[in-house]
A and B are shown apart, each in its own frame.
Chain A
């Protein structure tokens, strides 16, 4: 009769290491790519619009739509923490809007955009604007599946805002420096903000704009390749 082999067991179990390479942003990236393919297969261009609270994102989208709506079938996805104020402003241009309220989150993510796209007649659209939550930090971390990014900043945010928030400009195709009609009153030089953008992302097209008097809007449209 053989003596049983002594087994040492810990009451808690055994310590075990799992080594892996698991990208936790992968799910958002995957959904963003899915959104992108879906838009492309319907021949819809999507532009995501980012910028601070009050920089003029909604006003700029509205100004662009009023100049393009005869040639393009346009819809807008409006992201906000709460309220439908921006959707109602955009709807006054007569284009369909979907409001996405994030509740507690400070950014839109690809899953929210997927749900919004479910509610849009993609086969009857040419162009979708996605207005992100007003925030210069978080949205840069969450790709949505759009094909170009428009960043809206304004002279009322002070002279250093570009240098303080560089991440937002890295992927921008066009940067609108808005409210230039207020530049003198603010003592802020729009050309300084443009030069700062060029330092961070030399590929971005920077356009001084004023939604109040309409200056620069056509150049934003051209910069986005819509004309």
Chain B
């Protein structure tokens, strides 16, 4: 359910960006989501299609790239993707935060992203574009 609220923030951010670039049509939006975020790409795409109706984003496609969750043990240095060795935990979406090698406490160090990485848009011919990073 919260996908709708978060996708709404995404659409606002892209509209803002489009305005800055004098854009008339947005073609693609690329998003990076960490697997440890409770965000379903399918639900985000569904919300996106509903939210962009009647805007310059209508008809554009939302591409979602998922990045793995990384866990790190401060005690023994274990550092892995959580879904490679922790087994069943994958199906729970979140790893048990206990190190499989030394039983120490694991810190989550990746997989919490929710970031717009690229927006492909149509801009008027000859318009000057300022590159921002």
CB of B45 closer than 8 Å to a CB of A: no
> Known contacts being A17-B120, A24-B115, A27-B9, is A166 close to B92, with CB within 8 Å?
yes
CB distance from A170 to the nearest CB of B (A): 7
Provide the residues of chain B in CB contact with A16, threshold 8 Å.
Answer: 21, 23, 120-123, 129
For B6, give its contact among A7, A141, A170, A201 (CB under 8 Å).
A141
Distance of A22 Cα from B12 Cα, bound (Å): 12
Question: Could you tell me which residues of chain B, from 11 to 29, have a CB within 8 Å of some CB in chain A?
Answer: 13, 17, 21, 23-25, 27
Kindly supply a per-residue 1/0 record for chain A positions 90-128, scoring 1 wherever the CB is within 8 Å of any chain B CB and 0 otherwise. Answer: 000000000000000111010000000000000000000
Distance of A164 Cα from B115 Cα, bound (Å): 26
Please, which residue of chain B has its CB at the minimum distance from the CB of A10? B125
CB of A199 closer than 8 Å to a CB of B: yes
Distance of A166 Cα from B86 Cα, bound (Å): 15
CB of A12 closer than 8 Å to a CB of B: yes
Distance of A20 Cα from B17 Cα, bound (Å): 10
Q: How many of chain A's residues touch chain B, expressed as a range? A: 35 or more
CB of B62 closer than 8 Å to a CB of A: no
Q: In the bound complex, do residue A18 and residue B125 qualify as a contact, i.e. CB atoms below 8 Å apart?
A: no
Provide the residues of chain B in CB contact with A163, threshold 8 Å.
Answer: 92
B residues within 8 Å of A by Cβ?
1-2, 5-6, 9-10, 13, 17, 21, 23-25, 27, 36-39, 92-94, 96-98, 105, 108, 113-127, 129, 132-133
A residues within 8 Å of B by Cβ?
7, 9-10, 12-25, 27, 105-107, 109, 137-138, 140-142, 163-164, 166-167, 170, 199-203
